[in-house]
Amino acid sequence: MESFTHHTGLVATMDRANVDTDQIIPKQFLKRIERTGFGQFLFFDWRFHDDGSLNQAFELNAPEVSGASILVARRNFGSGSSREHAVWALADYGFRVVIAPSYADIFFNNCFKNGVLPISLSESEVEQLFENAATRPGYRLVVDLEAQKVSDDSGFIVSFEIESFRRECLLQGLDDIALTLQHEDKITEFERARLQ
């Protein structure tokens, strides 16, 4: 997993509450066996019309947010079923950060396991980000996980809290497998002892 220390990125906003995992990655795309390639299906039912053409009215299809890597949304983002594919799709599409007032628990946990930083800010702070993005084309944010701050170049700065273990895992780029492999010597020793 790629480590996360600082990230500067273009902001895309999604002015919707209760965005569920069924919308983030619809069920028909869960048959893939790889973790990659899901980005093309992100928000599929919203991004595309039934005939396959782009829905120009959908937020992420706006040309000015092409290449965005920070998604700002409303409360309870990632609700619904527990599919890890939702985070895979967001990451594969290019999002490194999601900012919202609250998240569904399983989605929130899955973000950390896949190198996406979910930041919880207050409703008023999120509202300010929506206003900033609406009035400043090409709006960008700086996310500093080491200092636990989100800022822009015109004075907006807020702090956020991340549980220390999760923060360290992201800073070092450690997913569950990498964490386990830190104890490879002990695992090997245990396996040898069992063979005797």
**In the prediction, which pLDDT does 179 show?**
62
Domain boundaries, the chain: 6-195
Per-residue pLDDT at 99 exceeds 70: yes
Q: Which of 129, 80, 82, 81 is nearest to 101 (CA)?
A: 129
**Strand pairing category for 117-120 and 97-100:** parallel
CA distances from 30 to 52, 95, 176 (A): 19, 19, 22
pLDDT tens-digit readout, 30-72: 987 788 899 999 999 999 999 999 999 999 999 999 999 999 9
**In the prediction, which pLDDT does 112 show?**
95
pLDDT tens-digit readout, 162-193: 999 999 999 998 776 666 656 567 666 677 77
CA angle 37, 43, 49 (to 5 degrees): 110
CB atoms within 10 A of CB 196: 4
CA atoms 62, 123, 5, 142: torsion sign: positive
Tell me the two tokens of residue 19: 């965005």
Choose the CATH number for 6-195 among 3.30.479.10, 3.10.20.30, 3.80.30.20, 3.20.19.10.
3.20.19.10
Residues 118-127, mean pLDDT to the nearest whole number? 98
Q: How far apart are CA 103 and CA 44, in angstroms?
A: 21
Strands (DSSP E) along 68-174, which ranges? 70-73, 97-100, 117-120, 140-144, 149-151, 157-159
**Side chain identity at 122, as an amino acid letter?**
S
Q: How far apart are CA 144 and CA 7, in angstroms?
A: 7
**In the prediction, which pLDDT does 175 show?**
73
Q: Angle at which helices 85-93 and 105-113 pack, to 10 degrees?
A: 50
Tell me the two tokens of residue 162: 């991340």
**Type and span of the H or E element at 114:** none
**In the prediction, which pLDDT does 187 show?**
63
